[in-house]
Amino acid sequence: MDEEFVFIANALAHEKRLKVLEWLKDPESNFPPQVDGDLVSDGVCSGFIADKLGVSAPTASAHLGLLRDAGLISSKRIKKWTFYKRNEEAIQRVANRVASEL
């Protein structure tokens, strides 16, 4: 296994990060409407994700940063907020890789 795959596996090795990926799969069902940014096309505000996780903004930011660095989510700045959404292509590649490796 290469280092990139191990990094991605480590990013997935936390219950809260897995929950974020699950919630972002259907953001309209899992988060309230936002003033700025569309839940689907722009992503979910990091503040909403922190609230739903029940953690502080810096803790949520650390979890989201790991998922972003692993390529599993993307981020977008709108005004002073950061919005996150799933990178479906990358998630599918990881799923295919896991299926072929195990």
The pLDDT of residue 1: 63
- 59-87 burial string, b = 16+ CB within 10 Å, else e? ebbebbebbbebbbbeeeeeeebbbbbbb
Topology (CATH) of 3-97: Arc Repressor Mutant, subunit A (1.10.10)
Mean pLDDT by 10 residues, the chain (102 residues): 86 96 97 94 97 97 96 96 96 91 76
97/102 Cα distance (integer angstroms): 9
The pLDDT of residue 84: 98
